[in-house]
Amino acid sequence: MRELAAGIVIIGNEILSGKTVDTNSPFLARELRQLGVTLKRIAVIPDELEVIAETVRDFHRRFDLVFTSGGVGPTHDDVTIEGVARALGRRVIVHPQLEEKIREYLNGRPANAAHLKMAEVPEGAELLVDERLRFPTIKVENIYVLPGIPEILQQKFFALKDRFVADPYYLKVIYTNEVESTIAQYLHDTLREYPALLLGSYPKVGDAEYRVKVTLESKDRSYVERAFAFLLARLPQGSVVRTEG
């Protein structure tokens, strides 16, 4: 089985201060799942060099893939590149190819310090070029540096995603009108029989259709189908509203 574990580091005071709702981690969570990549952790942290370095270093060591989002613009609060470099014990350098791209983009207008800041990368970083995108994506070791602006993050991720294919998850869902405390025992029995099953139980308040959504998942399709049949056979008659998958 091809398994990939990922972590996401969202860098942005605007999210912690409640000014902006982070839509990047939900987007990446959905996309990674579809690719079969297992997302293990999301951290939302401030635009602070030491916190970025500490968090990225930790995720770099724990997971196969790390995605950062935010903090890559030309202003004072854009310290992600420096944070990633520090996480890996590398220097920050100006990448000649990025500098050229920026001068091209400026089309004869003079480059200021803010423009040149956007040509900085951790030493030894790769540039992932895609013809559909104006600027390449910066990758260093297992870390992909993505922007905070959702539209651009999404474009960049779509250009990269073929790199991240793992074995897919198979999902089956049961919606029931029983409460969790009634079905807990059946879930428990199912897990005893199918210990490798990913089994979730999500109560919903004030829904006319169902009370609990039960999700069964595995990378082994036949395993999840057997577990699904096992649980269905045990739930009280008439308690299943509908199923999916």
Residues that bind a second copy (CB under 8 A): 13-22, 25-26, 29-34, 39-46, 51, 73-77, 112-115, 117-118, 149, 151-152, 169, 180-185, 187-188, 191, 198-206, 215, 217
Beta carbon nearer to a second copy, 117 or 140: 117
**Residue 243 beta carbon to a second copy: minimum distance, rounded to whole angstroms:** 15
Beta carbons of 4 and 166 less than 8 angstroms apart? yes
Which residue's CB is nearer to a second copy, number 59 or number 140? 59
Closest to a second copy by CB, 124 vs 168, is 168
Measure Cα distances from 207 to 66, 116, 213, 224 in Å.
37, 53, 11, 27
In whole angstroms, how close is the CB of 76 to a second copy at the nearest point?
6
Cβ distance to a second copy smaller for residue 151 or 162: 151
For a second copy, the closer of residues 86 and 117 by Cβ is: 117
Least Å from the CB of residue 188 to a second copy? 6
Backbone angles phi, psi at 223, to 5 degrees: -60, -45
Tell the smallest beta-carbon distance from residue 42 to a second copy (Å).
Answer: 4
**Cα–Cα distance, 155 to 133 (Å, whole number):** 8
CB of 67 to a second copy, least distance (A): 13
DSSP assignment letter at 134: S
Smallest gap from Cβ 124 to a second copy, in A, equals: 26
Min dist. Cβ of residue 39 to a second copy (A): 5
Output phi, psi for 49, to 5 deg: -50, -50
CB-wise, 1 or 205, nearer to a second copy?
205
CB burial of residue 204 (10 Å; 0-12, 13-18, 19+): exposed
The sign of the dihedral angle between the CA atoms of 225, 231, 236, 240 is: negative
Which residues have C-beta within 8 Å of that of residue 239, sequence separation ≥ 6? 176, 177, 178, 183
Residue with smaller CB distance to a second copy, 104 or 123: 104
Query: Minimal CA–CA distance to 163: which of 185, 132, 130, 131?
Result: 130
Query: Which of 123, 114, 70 has the alpha carbon at shortest distance from 92?
Result: 123
Residue whose structure tokens are 């207008």? 109
